[in-house]
Amino acid sequence: MKLIVGLGNPGKKYESTWHNVGFIIIDHLKGSRPDDYLSCKKSTKFQAEICDGEIGEEKIILIKPQTFMNKSGVAVKALANFYKIDTADIWVIHDDIDITLGSIKISQNSSAAGQKGVQSIIDELGTQNFVRFRIGIKPDNESKIPTEDYVLQKIGSEGKVVIDNIGKEVVSAIELALMNGIPAAMNEFN
């Protein structure tokens, strides 16, 4: 069983912002396999939107924590404990301002590097031994906008094309990782 977590902030105000790329990718994953995700619901108990289903023989639980980004670990820990999921079977999808826009980097057992949602997960789980699908959102130009402001900006039309393309790539990376393991996905997509 895999717990696949998309990081973002809940609410209309944050929809389609750079910081919500994790949520957007979860929606891509659901949309790529609509027959595989039979049950989707918002859970107040787990403070998350949860979809469960299967890809091949693997049981998958997709979540979008409904806490704010810096408290994402609360929902992740609660669901990991409830389903008895090992931390190595938790895969987190999130934006990364240090990676060029449209790039993907898969890593495991790495520090949060300033990403507050990832730091919350590390703090709650007591380990950084989980998989991360880091989605590059760094602009091509050297933006003078502070990072905190940039990540909360709405994604423009050009950015949406890039995110749609990377969404398809992440879906392929996840499918490959499920079939052949994380190292195979790293070799193919990093």
> Which residues carry out catalysis?
19
Q: Report in angstroms the alpha-carbon separations of 147 from 25, 52, 130, 133.
A: 21, 34, 25, 20
Specify burial of residue 145 (Cβ count, 10 A radius: 0-12, 13-18, 19+): exposed
Phi-psi region of 116 (alpha: psi -120 to 50; beta: other; left: phi over 0): alpha
3-state secondary structure (DSSP) of residue 34? coil
Q: How far is CA 158 from the centre of its chain?
A: 21
Rounded to the nearest 5°, which phi and psi values hold at 46? -100, 0
Q: Tell me how far apart the 2 most distant CA atoms of the chain are, in Å.
A: 47
Q: How many CA atoms lie within 13 A of 2 on its CB side?
A: 24
- Which ranges constitute the DSSP H helices of the chain? 21-32, 72-83, 116-125, 147-150, 157-180, 182-189
